[in-house]
Amino acid sequence: MPGCETRGIFYRGVFFGLGLGLGLAVVVLAIVLSRGVTVRVPGTSIAQTLSIQAQNELRENLPSILSQARSMVPDLVRPELRRRLGAAKMEFYGVSITVPPESLGGLETYLVGLVDETVGRVLSGMAAQLVSPAGKAPLEDVIAQALHRDLDGRTLRLCLFGPFTVPVRIVME
> pLDDT tens digits for 76-128?
888 887 777 776 666 777 777 776 777 777 778 888 888 888 888 888 888 77
Predicted confidence band at 71 (pLDDT cuts at 50, 70, 90)? confident
The per-residue pLDDT for 32 is: 78
Choose between 29 and 22: higher pLDDT: 22
Whether 89 contacts 99, CB under 8 Å: yes
Using only the alpha carbons of the chain, give its radius of gyration: 36
Burial (Cβ within 10 Å: 0-12, 13-18, ≥19) of residue 85: middle
Are 110 and 117 spatial neighbours (Cβ–Cβ below 8 Å)?
A: no
Q: What local confidence, expressed as pLDDT, does residue 16 receive?
A: 93
pTM of the model: 0.55
Q: Is 173 helix (H, G, I), strand (E, B) or coil?
A: coil
Residue 134 reports pLDDT greater than 80: no
Query: Considering only CA atoms, which of 107, 130, 123 is closest in space to residue 72?
Result: 123
User: How many Å from the N-terminal Cα to the C-terminal Cα in the chain?
Assistant: 65
